Amino acid sequence: MIKILKIQCQRLILTFSRMYIRGNKAKKGKPMRTEQAASKRIIEALEYKIEKAIYKSGDKLPSEHDLCNQFSVNPHIVRFAFLDLIHRGLVESKQGKGYFVAKRMRELCYPLSSLTRFTENLNQIGIAAEGKLVDWTLRLANEPEAERLQLTDDQHVYELQIIRCAGDQPFSRSQTVLPKQCVPNFSTNLENFRSLYQLLDRHYRIYPHRVSSTLQAVMPNQQDTEQLNIPENVPILQVRSLAHYPKGRPIEYSCSRIRSDLCRCTIDF
């Protein structure tokens, strides 16, 4: 809750800072007010040094006081520049310590194929993978789910909400639906959940094969920004997939929302 409030406060401050600068611009009638130009110079200078790794991941950035002196501006201009960089995920603020270059994982090359397995794919490149079960429910299948999983409208499904992490970094969040009839006593096997496919293999000898995936770039919603720890302007790669038993019967319908800044997907034919 504290983290959510912090994000919301940062957004409000950024909005009011922009309104302040635009207000000054309108009042004085000049095309590019000194405040706006100065803020842009600070943003561009810090962004350049971050991109060129002059300031590396985790490095402390110059203080507000130092940047005020360097650019001959008031503190609120420097704060606006930092808030813009925080909003874009380049900088993070630590209370009482200052501003730091945000820590980021290297981009992952993630293959999409009939045998795609999140945990196995990451383990193969030396990254620890973990699935966190956020919530689950047993309910009636809705119309799209019933159609794809070949169910009647009076049959039940298990819906799982899962956050998958690469190392300690949230990587994706998924909604996965499984027919109840295919996974008897499923709820009793959810304790100590780490990987859905490992659970299916261990308890049911089910090894799903992906038969179709639809990819779409979308903007993040509030749940994405909070659960995946991303700025609201970083796109999400949404992947809707259908998986079958090896012999052809539908077993899983899922919608995954993946951080585009951490993932480069390859499609194997």
| CATH number of the domain within which 118 lies | 3.40.1410.10
Distance CA 186, CA 203 (A): 9
Yes or no: say if 76 and 229 are a contact pair by the CB < 8 Å rule: no
Same-domain pairing of 74 and 168: no
Mark whether 35 and 75 lie in a shared domain.
yes
In this prediction the pTM is: 0.69
CATH number at residue 77: 1.10.10.10
Do 77 and 146 fall within a single domain?
no
In a shared domain, residues 60 and 182: no
CB 137 within 8 A of CB 157: no
Do 95 and 197 fall within a single domain? Answer: no
Structural domain for 42, as ranges: 2-101
Which residues contact residue 1 at a Cβ distance below 8 angstroms, ignoring those fewer than 6 apart? Answer: none
Q: Which of 80, 101, 122 is the last residue of a domain?
A: 101
> What string of pLDDT tens digits covers the 269 residues of the chain?
444 444 444 554 455 445 444 454 444 444 446 778 889 999 999 999 988 889 988 899 999 999 999 999 999 999 999 988 887 778 888 888 999 998 766 667 777 778 777 877 777 777 788 899 999 999 999 999 999 999 998 999 999 999 998 887 899 999 999 999 999 999 999 998 999 999 999 999 999 999 999 999 999 999 999 999 887 878 899 999 999 998 789 999 999 999 988 887 787 76
Do residue 36 and residue 78 come from a single domain? yes
135 and 253, same domain (yes or no): yes
Q: 120 and 248, same structural domain?
A: yes
Contact criterion met (CB below 8 Å) for 101 and 61: yes
pLDDT of residue 21: 47
**Domain final residue pick, 60, 78, 101:** 101
The span from the CA of 268 to the CA of 211, in Å, is 12
Q: In this structure, are 76 and 164 located in the same domain?
A: no
For the chain, the domain total comes to 2
Structure letter (DSSP) for residue 141: -
Whose tokens are 């203080």? That residue is 63
Phi first, then psi, for residue 216 (nearest 5°) are -150, 135
Are 114 and 198 found together in one domain?
A: yes
Tell me, yes or no, whether 10 and 69 share the same domain: yes
Among 67, 101, 135, residue at a domain's last position: 101
Residue at 82: amino acid letter: F
The dihedral region occupied by 177, where left means phi > 0, alpha psi between -120 and 50, and beta the remainder, is beta
